[in-house]
Amino acid sequence: MWRRIIKNTLFGVFKGVVYYWVFWVLIPWLISIILRIPFEQPLHLAVLVLGVFIGLGVASSSTKPFIGIILSVLSALLALNILVGILGGVVSASIEYSGVFVEASLDYTPLLVLIVGFTVIYAIIDCFERFLKLEE
């Protein structure tokens, strides 16, 4: 019993950290490296997001399967909200180009749509897999 609870909790923490790392750290970092524009997020918000992801991960792996599916969907929705709401699809910056100050903005919505699309597909497959396990 305790063994199973610890195993589920650790799996939930791992899942939450992976979600946090992919959607809060990795994707914004890659975009900032490619576009050479810094993404600065406040530390308290990062801790909050990490806490919510871990909480949802632990809850989804510890509760009954049907509730777990709903909580997993919530994790995916939060990830999508971070992608669409915080990254936004448009980056703006003031840069110096050949001695002239230029206000530049770049719309990278196609890339964001692709990432959001794959996230949705992954979440649907995950839910479907859990539903099948639930039926078994």
Partner 1 sequence: MFAGFKYTIIVLAILTSLILLLPLLVFVWDITQNPECIVLKFENTSYINSEELKTNITVSYCSSIPLRNVRIQIGSRLVEFNYISKGVSCTQEIILATRDLEEGIRGLEASIGGFYRLVLKFE
Site residues for partner 1 per CB under 8 A: 34-36, 97-98, 100-108, 110-111, 114-115, 118, 121-122, 125-126, 128-129, 132
CB of 56 vs partner 1, minimal distance in Å: 19
- 3-class DSSP state of 106: strand
DSSP labels for 31-88?
Answer: HHHHHT------HHHHHHHHHHHHHHHHHHHHS-HHHHHHHHHHHHHHHHHIIIIII-
Cβ closest to partner 1, residue 35 vs residue 50: 35
The rounded radius of gyration (Å) of the Cα atoms in the chain is 18
Cβ closest to partner 1, residue 51 vs residue 117: 117
User: Cβ(39)–Cβ(32) under 8 Å?
Assistant: yes
CB of 111 vs partner 1, minimal distance in Å: 5
Cβ closest to partner 1, residue 45 vs residue 109: 109
CB of 12 vs partner 1, minimal distance in Å: 18
